[in-house]
Structures are given as C-alpha cells and as structure tokens.
Structure 1
C-alpha cells in the first residue's frame, strides 16, 4: 500500500516501518538457490522475469527457485522425499514455501503458486507439496486460473471479461483466434506449460575452474596498482588454458570495496585468445567505465567462458612473420581485437553482426546479434513454412531478388480490359500492374510460392509470391496477401531482380 496510507494505519497500531531492500532480497534468494544447487540438483536457477509484472505479483522481483530433477530423484528415494529435503533447507533459514513437481517448468510454477491448498498434500511442518504425475500435466492444470500461466494483468482481465475462468476453458479455445486477438505471448505461455515448446532454464553458474583471487594488503584506489594486480591475476587464471589449446571468450572480474557493494565487471570477446596484454586492456576499459565508490579490498578474476583456439599461420611476406613469435597461435586477428575494444567502450549490444535467421518471412530473413556474446543455441521452433517448390537454395539464383524493399509497396492489378482486378488464380493472373502511377504490362510470371506463419507467431500472415517479368524486360517479386479483407490492398511489390 502507499506509505501515506500505511502511516495512517500505523498510527492506530504498534507497527514498525522498515525500508524494503530489494538488493538484499535478491542476494538472499540467490544464496538459497546456490544451496539448492549444492544439495538437490546442479541445474538450479532463479526464475527469470519478463519486462512487465505477471498477474498477482506485487513486486517485479524473482520469487521462485527452479530445479531440473531428471536423474537425481533416485538419490533421495522418491519425489516426495526430494521435496522434503528442499523444505528442510528452507526450515533452517526459518522460511516457508510451496513446492511442486511437473513435466514442464510452466506447470510446476503454476502448481506451486496457484494450486489450492489441500490437507492431504501438506507435511507436518507446514510445507505444501504438489506433484503432477508424469504425463498428467494437462489434467493438473485444468482447474487452475488463467493467471497460473504467468500472464500479464491486462490479458487476465480480458479473459475474465470473456468468461474464461480456468486453464481448462482456455485450452479448449482455438489457438488461431487467441493469437490474433490476445497476442503471441499468451500462446507462448500455453505452449510452455503444456510442453509443446521448450522453456530454457538458465542455471546458476558454477565456480570457474580457471580463476585467481587476491586480497590486497591495504585498500587502494590507485589505478596503476590495480592495473598491475589485474594483469597478474589474469596471468594466473589463464595459465591452465594454454596446455589445453583453449582461449578466453568471456572474462569476469569481481571487486570488493571498503564501503560499497561488490561490483562485477565482464568483457566478452569476438574470438578466443590468451593474449595477456589484450585481456588486461579490455578489463581496464571495463573498470574505467565503472566509478569506484570506495577503495578496493579484494580482486577476483575468472574465465567465465572459453573455447578452442584457432591456429593461424602468419604470412612469410607479412609483418606478423617477424613479430609473431612462437606463441602466435594464442593471439587474435586485428579485426577481432578491434571488435573487442569497441564492445568494451560502447557496450556489447552496440557492436552487432548480421546472420541468417530461421524466420520464413523475407523481411525477417536476417537478424542482428552482439558480436562478443556467445550463447549456446537450444532447440528452436520455426515460426512458419514455405510451400510451392521448397525453400530457395544458394545455387538457385532466380528464386530470390537482389533488391528487397524495406517495406512492401502496394500495387494495383489490372486485367486485360484495363480495369482494376484482384485475383490470384494462375490462369487469371493480372495482365499488368499499376506501380507508382504507371501501368506496367506483364510478359510472363512464375508461381505461386506460399509463405505463411504459424499460430504461435502472432497474427496470421499468408502470402502467395510470384516472379514477374514485365514487357520491358525488368523482373519483379510480388505477392498476393491472402489475409487482407475489405478495402485493404492485396497486391504488393516486395523486391526487384537484377
């Protein structure tokens, strides 16, 4: 409640006000998660939050701990004994909680947070256990409210107005209509809870095997001294990587201060390296961007991510041949060094590359990504399909245009009589198109090639693409929008061939 309202209430009682310490809450939850990781399962994580609060959440802070228990249940006897062990960890800290086991992360969260309390599911110590038998996830979710799927408040309010009071009622509705009217996030949450798509579990990082720590004899804020100690710690942290022919991809520095909370600095690299001077410069750059609030008392360097080094033979005619030395294989290319330095100065999200994506829509065929961020890709569900001859191949140069318009341009089809037409049938293909006010006659065409999205990608997109050769010899890539209705334009110019 607002502080002013709480103060009026406190005037009538013997209430005590304490400021909410969000950082302390997060640290306590992180500490408990690490304890679960050590005693229950190595794959343990604190729940990840999206941009907006979920329904029923008073604070936008993590409140749940998630563990993957496949392969560890037998160590405790059965699932209930595993939950009893978890409950004992909370009891040592004088905390209470609700526990659930299910086939999916979303279902377990739903049961633990919204399942009604039942006496036969409670232990004597007051902890509540909810276990959905294997393969019975849908049955366990049937009677829970839609908010159990971790939905935004506005989505829950809309479902309530529509009379959807349980997850079972929601699951009986057609997905296509839900995606169109309520958006893709709702369909994603349903798919995650039912196990149709995977939901990643970002496990807590285990202590690095390649690390070095130093407690300073006297606290200091002298940059020259800090720089010297950083270089020595980096040398100690990477010494075991060279025999393995592996290099650093992400370096982390943990600093403890005399009067301020600890700080964690990270530097990602475009390519693995063991160049000590380069790693030191990157970490010093990250340190200079962080204002030292007080003196440093302890420093820890750890290799958060490493990868095999790529061998590189210096040219006999190039400058690297004289200066490379015997450890040239531990170094990066000049381009990689430049990317590392720019990312350190501007931020990892500011230096980006471009790569092909799995999205079938032509305007989404490429995506940008941070060039110094290396993450393992999990199983990915594609968002559409291409029919009518299969997807384009690199050897089939005539299937895709050289120039793709940033925004498809509406065009008007014209029939043989010079009147406006709107048909996509191959035997009634328009005789001409009006493009930017001028009529362009069609000589011949190829198609259609159907490109459409799936229900989980949001509003339905369904297009028939045609390759069109005009009388003047120019070739266009146009499509017919099969979803457009009423006065909406149906034909669009999307690209031009060379």
Structure 2
C-alpha cells in the first residue's frame, strides 16, 4: 500500500518504515533455495516468472520455491516426513511457509498459494503447527484438488481473471467445464496453456539451481551501471579470480558462466563453451563480451558472478620455431589454445553452440547413420555421441574386411534410392549361392551386371525400433561402373525390393 495510507493505519502504533530492498529479497530467496537443494531435493528452483503479473501480485518478484521430489521421498519415509524436514530447514532460517505437493508444478503452486489447508500436525513438528500450512494432493487426483480453487490460482493475468469474474466463472471446476476452443479464441492461448500445465497435459520444466562452483568469483557493484567498458573491466578481474586456483592444478576452462543481477529486471545467465581447455584471460573475456552482444541489458547491472562450470587438464604446446613470436613466447605455453580452437570458440559464441558442428565416424554399422555430427564446443554432447553400436553386422560369401580398400563406396547417397531388378540367375544347389539379378534399371537406364561380391548383411536389434535387414552387394556393371546395392529382407512384399546406396567410381 502507499506509505501515506500505511501511516494513517499505523498512527496509534510505533511503526517503523523501511524501504523495500528487492535485491536483498532475491538473494535471501536464492540462499534458501540452495539450502533446500542441499538437504531436500537436488532438483530445486525458484519459481519462474513471465512478463505479465498474476494472482494479484503488486510487485513482480519470485516468492516461491519448487522442487521435484520424485525419487527422494523414500529418504524421508513418506511425503509427510519430507514436509516436516523442509519446514525444519525453513525454521532454522527464521521462516514459515505454506507447503503443497501435487503431480504438477502448476497444481502445487495453486494449492500452496490459495488452498484452505489445515496445518498437518504430523508434518509440522515442534512449534510449527500454528505457523505452517500443508496440502497434499493424492496422486492422480490433481484435477479434483483444484476444482474448488479460484481461477486466479492457475497463475492468470489480472485482465483474464477480471474477464472470468464478469462471466461468472468463480472456480477452476467451472472453468474446466468450458470448451477450450472458445477460451482460446476469446481469452487467448495463455489461459489454455495454464490449464494444461496445472492438469498435466503440458509439461512445465523446472530450471534447477546450479550447484555453487569451487572456482567462482562475485562482485557487487557499489553503483549499478550499464557502461560496457566498466563491465568489461570487472569481468576481467572476476575471470582472473575464478581461474586463479586452476593454474596450480594445470587445468583449463571448458565452460564458463556469467550471472548478472539487475536493479529492475530478473537475473540473466550467460554461458560460453570452449572447444579445448584454456586459461587465456583475454580469450575468456572476449567470449563473455561476445555473449553480451546477444543480450540487451534491460536495466543497470548490480552484481556480477563468474564461475567455471566445467574444466579439464591442460596439454602442453610448444610454439613453432618458424613462428613470428617464437623468441618472445614461452616455449612451454600450456595456458593458451591453438588458433583453430580459438576460432571455433569465437564462432560458437556468436552463432550459438549448436550451429558450429563437427563430424565423426560413429559406431553404427547402418551406412546412413555411420556419420555423426556434434556441437564442437559442447563436451557433454561429445561424450553422449559415443554410444554402443545399435546394430550388428553379419557377413557371408566374400564379406569385405576392414583392410579392404573397396569396402565402402566413395559416394554414399543421403537416402537409399529404389531401383528395379531384372531376371535372376538360376538357383544353384549350393546353399551358399542365391539368385541374383542380371541387370538393374538405375536412373532410367538398364545396366547389366558383370560381377558381384557379397552379401554383407546388416540388421538391427529388435529393441531398437522397426526391424532393418539388408544384404549389401558390391556390383560391377557392364559399362565399368561399380555400385553398392542392397536387398531389403525386412520388406513385407513377396517380391524382393532393391535399393542403390552408393557409387564406387
């Protein structure tokens, strides 16, 4: 309320007026969330806000903490004991709260903020019965728990709530009875999305807090600023402080993160990944400043935090004796990257990690899946790209060896092309010999077969999806060309289906 109105109400008391410190509120909530992340659930986050205000909030600041408790409840025996442990952690910090457990984030938020729940003596513990409120929605009955709540509990904008009130919609139960198509047309998709999030039809991601890094540095500016030259200078200092301990460990930065706290807008996290580990301060600074160029500063920066998310051992690199800087450079320069790595880092910072990609030969014998592309600066993606073979390979009748120069064609089609096979050789009594076409129609031309090698069989495992069974052949044609064809053995058609997959010359 305005100060003048509050002064009138408090005229007969010794009231003390304090200016609201939004930054202190955010920091206290963040510290509380970190404590719950360490003692209750590793997947803990501060509620995510959108641009519009909801539920009659006069200020648009986060006021709640959410946690994913799937998989941790058994550590506290049951959900009631988990709530009791959480309440105890809050009491240690001097806080009391309203708690709710539900199948969805939206339902838990609605119950914690608006449900008329009686204190749960079993979960409250000593002295907490009259100060905390608890509500547990039974599994699978989220909609039933929401029916008596007002529509505002679904985190709707004030304008949407006012419109629903004019229409006589006073509960979530009434709202759920209305057709979604009409709601989307008259009140927008935002309302339908909120309903879907609360009922579990639409997933809502929990952005878990990052675990504090051992290699981090924080600076709270005495005077908030948006001057980039000043921010760049402070970034350089913080990067040096955050990476100082890595020098003695001979480890370099692979992923660095910068968190910015603003005076009048939500915090922003900027992250840069590197192709190879480095401790080059100027390079790390340029990457962070490049990340700044893609984000407009909504208000003045009040706090800057740099922490190293991922690091790896450094490798020594001696400068070339033919290089121009050989005389002045250290001959064992283990803090810097190669020029190629610096270029990859710069491009990834400006274009995005997913846009600068490399290729490698994968373990999948299926030809069209044998080449894997990956973000060159994302080491987490690189580690997941090396998977176990998803197919097995079986060769008979002259299957090529790994040392065979003609094992794979020089040109591989992106997708196999269907071709027509003509006539077949008479079947031999030899079990290892099978009928084979004497000619193929490829790109409108009939081409006779002179010689062939194979088959080389490739088939998928049954647990990896639809069955793929192919017999590959290297075929020499009458005009001298060599092609790579296969017969689809998994086809349901009675007739064999042939495909062209590559050219040897």
Distance 2:373 2:491 in 1: 30
* 1:488 Cα deviation from its structure 2 partner: 8.7
Partner of 2:474: 467
Q: How far apart are the structure 1 equivalents of 2:136 and 2:432?
A: 62
Q: Is the 8 A contact 2:36 2:44 kept in 1?
A: no
Greater Rg by CA: 2
Q: 1:95 aligns with which of 99, 104, 115?
A: 99
- 1:359 Cα offset (Å): 3.0
- Conservation of the 8 A alpha-carbon contact between 1:87 and 1:127: no
TM-score by length of structure 2 reads 0.61
* 1:462 CA drift (Å): 2.1
Gaps spanning 5+ residues in structure 2: where?
1-26, 46-64, 91-96, 104-119, 124-133, 142-205
| Offset from partner CA, 1:119-164 (integer Å, 9 cap, x none) | xxx995488799xxxxxxxxxxxxx99xxxxxxxxxxxxxxxxxxx
Which structure's relative contact order is higher, taking Cα pairs within 8 Å and 6+ residues apart? 1
Distance in 2 between residues matched to 1:429 and 1:488, nearest whole Å: 13
Structure 2 Cα separation of the partners of residues 30 and 401 of structure 1 = 58
Partner of 2:460: 453
Match of 2:416 among 395, 408, 416: 408
Q: Distance in 2 between matches of 1:217 and 1:392?
A: 71
Q: TM-score, normalised by structure 1?
A: 0.62
- Tell me how large the CA RMSD over aligned residues is: 3.9
Structure 2 counterpart SS, 1:321: coil
- Alignment partner, residue 373 of structure 1: 378
* Alpha-carbon contact 2:425-2:435 (below 8 Å) kept: no
Residue 36 of structure 1 contacts residue 86 of structure 1 at CA under 8 Å; is this kept in 2? no
Cα 1:205/1:261, change in 2 over 3 Å: closer
Partner of 2:334: 329
What count of residue pairs does the alignment treat as equivalent?
Answer: 355
- Asked if 1:242 corresponds to 2:255, the answer is no
How far apart, in 1, do the equivalents of 2:274 and 2:353 lie? Answer: 9
Structure 2 match to 1:352:
357
Contact 1:478 1:492 in 2 (8 A): yes
Give the CA deviation at 1:484: 2.9
Aligned mate of 1:65, from 63, 68, 73: 68
1:340 equivalent in alignment to 2:345: yes
Q: Which of the numbers 71, 78, 82 marks the counterpart of 1:86?
A: 82
Q: CA deviation at 1:483?
A: 2.8
Query: Contact 1:257–1:298 at 8 Å: present in 2 too?
Result: yes
**How far off its partner does 1:320 sit?**
3.8
For residue 485 of structure 1, report the CA deviation from its aligned partner.
3.8
SS in 1 for 2:258: strand
Q: Do residues 299 (structure 1) and 304 (structure 2) align? A: yes
- Distance change (3 Å), C-alpha of 1:64 and 1:363: farther
Look up the match of 1:137: none
Q: Does the CA-based 8 Å contact 1:214-1:298 persist in structure 2?
A: yes
Q: Does 1:258 align with 2:263?
A: yes
Report the Cα offset of residue 40 of structure 1. 4.5
Mapped partners of 2:409, 2:32: distance in 1: 55
Offset of residue 315 of structure 1 = 1.4
Unaligned runs of 5+ in 1: 1-26, 47-61, 100-121, 131-143, 146-200, 419-423
